[in-house]
A and B are shown apart, each in its own frame.
Chain A
Amino acid sequence: MHQFTIAELIQGLRRKDYSSVELTRHYLDRITRLDSTYNSYITPTAELALAQAAEADKRLAEGNAPALCGVPIAHKDIFCTEGVKTTCGSKMLDNFIAPYNATIVENYLNAGVVMLGKTNMDEFAMGSSNETSYYGSVKNPWATDCVPGGSSGGSAAAVAAHLAPGATASDTGGSIRQPAALCGLTGIKPTYGRVSRWGMIAFASSLDQAGTLTRTAEDAALMLNNLASFDAKDSTCVEREIPDYTADLNNSLKGLKIGVPKEYFGEGLNPDTAVRVEAAIKVYESLGASIHSISLPHTHLAVPAYYVIAPAECSANLSRFDGVRYGYRCENPKDLADLYKRSRAEGFGDEVKRRILVGSYALSAGYYDAYYNKAQKVRRLIKQDFVDAFADVDVILGPTSPSPAFPFGSKTKDPVAMYLEDIYTIAVNLAGLPGLSIPCGLVDNKPVGLQLIGNYFAEAQLLNVAHQFQQATDFHQQTAPGIE
């Protein structure tokens, strides 16, 4: 059963080839037997999953059940789940039982989707390798000596190791697309504001957006149908009609204009990765698309702007963790200041502390204009590059990350080297555009990701462009070696 895509599971459940309880039990059994190798889950929720599955079977038997009813998925541990431990990969929240559900969790519950558990992640989503998690590294199913990418490394490894057919994830600078690339999956980050952020533990609020990791673009479309919603509880959520994201999947790509930014093929790109991406461009030409060389001249400023804006917003957001209302509290504080300072020093890991300190610096008196204000201006220049490009092309194509999965420990000593891992993905968050990664081949037996960037709210078109590629190629069907 674990070979099936979500689209196939939807059919199988309706044909009564298996019940949701049987399907869920199958996945729970795999998690129990196999996840010690990958460490992709922090908290499997077996009992809850089986109860939800039994409920889903009832709805399926009654008929008229929503499309995803009975399908089991995993949630990244950044989403609050009522009554279930929600850690965000941090010691700070090791004891945190969320008192409410994130809106997206609620959306899937209403659709009858079963939660298998909560997946591992970089602490507070700050990382590109899943090595900053308090709960230990996640192994890449394609090469267990290598990282799965981050921050949604647990969600990616779980789907790649067939320990879930799909998973939720979040993307602030590439945290869905880069793990999708490194684990050979389809990962979509929707337009900023398309999906509610309510109940998603905040990192950088003007950049954070929830999305999904699946094996195919069709599955991503099916999951996005329930992920997207207007939510009055998120003041940045956009009130705008939500299409059926599966409706355009089969559209022809004849006449589609694809822009290829020259800045995405410069220094730092692994030459073998470049070859795979160039081969993908040929596939699109054969499907009737036209290829146009474009320029996004401020690309090189995306990482610097991001590492002002994201830490600044994180330093404000993470000030809520004070050892008073919930989360970790230090032992025997001698006074209130000691309570704050030691709870935060002991509860946060090194990377989180580094970003809070950088953010505190960028926002401090005398530096605000030079750093935060300057970065917000550069951010507009970066956005304008995309606006100008989309005047001439429909989608933008390039690599998702500069190279395939790298070995554990190879970048942990050098934070800036780790930050450059997201060089092609970060600008998309700064501009608030939708982006997606699909597999386009292997280098050294490790997957390479192809990034597609769409115009605002053009998720359906992006999924169409990805789906057509997957109709013409079989990269998305390749499974990591050794997966039972």
Chain B
Amino acid sequence: MAVDRSDIAKLAELARIAISENTADEVASSISDVLALVDQLQAVNTDGVVPMAHPLDAIQRLRADEVTEINQREHFQTIAPATQGGLYLVPQVIE
């Protein structure tokens, strides 16, 4: 299935990636090439086949509901772009 520049605008919004107007056609064309490749799947009969999420069909391992990790907020925030008083700073959201 081919996509056009309006689809790309929608995908860019979903993926939170800015795509400039002047590259939208080029991006649409390369995404369409990939979709043409994967469209081969549509011809396969998969009736009754169970989707495979894990190679060994493993299920999630459970553990006891106990605190196992120590709080390392300060350590982790040393690499943050902007913090204040233990909080991550972003541009103002609420006026």
Contacts and interface: CB of A to CB of B under 8 A. Distances in A.
B63 A354 contact: no
Counting chain A residues whose Cβ lies within 8 A of the other chain, the interface size class is: 35 or more
Interface stretch (A61-69, A117-125, A143-151, A326-334): A326-334
A235 to B, nearest CB: 6
Interface stretch (A47-55, A379-387, A397-405): A379-387
B16 A341 contact: yes
Interface in A310-361: 311, 315, 319, 322-327, 329, 333-342, 344-345, 348, 353-354, 356-358, 360-361
A312 B88 CA distance: 28
Contact of B58 (A236, A329, A415, A431): A236
A290 interface: no
A235 B81 CA distance: 30
B30 to A, nearest CB: 6
B8 to A, nearest CB: 7
Interface residues of B, number: 51
Given A238-B58, A305-B41, A373-B51, A324 B18 contact: no
Given A361-B3, A415-B34, A416-B33, A383 B52 contact: yes
Given A99-B75, A192-B56, A381-B46, A360 B14 contact: yes
A377 interface: yes
A291 interface: no
Contacts, number: 171
Contacts of B56: 192-193, 238, 432, 456
Q: Quick one: which of B7, B16, B76 has the most chain A CB within 10 A?
A: B16
28 contacts: A96-B79, A99-B76, A236-B54, A301-B41, A325-B88, A326-B81, A327-B81, A336-B90, A337-B16, A338-B18, A341-B18, A345-B17, A345-B19, A353-B27, A354-B27, A356-B15, A357-B12, A360-B11, A362-B38, A364-B14, A374-B44, A375-B41, A378-B49, A380-B49, A380-B52, A381-B49, A416-B34, A416-B36
Given A335-B92, A344-B15, A364-B14, 16 more contacts: A97-B79, A192-B55, A193-B56, A301-B41, A304-B38, A304-B41, A319-B16, A325-B80, A325-B88, A326-B80, A336-B91, A339-B90, A344-B18, A360-B14, A371-B38, A374-B44
Interface of A: 95-97, 99, 192-193, 206, 232, 235-236, 238-239, 298, 300-301, 303-305, 307-308, 311, 315, 319, 322-327, 329, 333-342, 344-345, 348, 353-354, 356-358, 360-362, 364, 370-371, 373-381, 383, 414-416, 419, 430-433, 456
